[in-house]
Amino acid sequence: MREFEDYLAVHIERLRHGGADNSILSAVLHDSDLSETEVRMFAGLLLGAGFVTTTHAFGNAVVALVGHPDQLARLRAHPEGWPNAVEEVLRYDSVAQIGARVATETLQIGGHTVQEGSAIFLLIGGANRDPAIFERADEFDTTRANARDHISFGTGIHVCLGAALARMELHIGLQTLFERFPQLALAGEPTLNDSTLLHGIKHLPVSLGPTRVNTG
């Protein structure tokens, strides 16, 4: 963490004195009144949220897909289904299991009073399995018509800044992985990271099988 902090400090100074470029961090530096600490926190959040979450989503997706060979077979036959498969993975095995919000006014939820200013912890993983929204909510179905109704990226003004990038990374990465290694299989039990905030896999043993070479 100290090495990361040192790196950020040097990088921020380089951006601050090197003129504006087209990066998000540079825009924050030159167009906002954030303090040095706030800029470092923003940079750390941007890097962590843009990398760790997608990495976890990728691992969760591999486990879900390998565990449902019928779904993989359908995707091989109909590769145009990959974008929807990504949405179903995000719904079925959410990386962000919990979200925190602050009530801006006093309100009633399920017969309970939530006072203005109170912190509310939202169970995102539970909402993504809500049977009132998703038919057969506990089943993994890459053809689910409303798979994109998940809230893994948040919603409204809180929607994830990198949602479009994450979707693209998962689509390209997963489709390429299973096209190149069509016999990829688990070679042991996945080791979870035991996080209640960002659900992911620490260790995922797999056997790749023969590689499919693209001769086109």
CA–CA distance from 180 to each of 57, 88, 183, 215 (Å)? 20, 22, 9, 12
Ramachandran angles phi, psi of 67, nearest 5°: -75, -5
Residue 181, judged by CB atoms within 10 A of its CB (0-12, 13-18, 19+), counts as middle
- Res. 67: pLDDT tops 60: yes
d(CA 164, CA 168): 6
Confidence of residue 73 (pLDDT cuts 50, 70, 90): very high
Q: Which residues of 22-58 are buried (b: 16+ CB within 10 A; e: fewer)?
A: eeebbebbeeeeeeeeebbebbeebeebbeebbebbb
- pLDDT at res. 210: 85
The candidate with the shortest Cα–Cα distance to 160, out of 114, 109, 81, 94, is 94
Name the least confident of 51-55, 86-90, 133-137, 185-189. 51-55
Task: Place 21 in a pLDDT band, splitting at 50, 70 and 90.
Answer: low
Confidence band for 215, pLDDT divided at 50, 70 and 90: low
Alpha-carbon distance of 209 to 103, in angstroms, equals: 51
Alpha helix segments (H runs only) across 95-216: 124-127, 163-180
Beta strands of 11-97 (E only): which ranges?
Answer: none
pLDDT at 216: 52
The 10s digit of each residue's pLDDT in 131-177 is 999 999 999 999 999 999 999 999 888 888 889 999 999 999 999 99
The residue-averaged pLDDT of 56-67 equals 96
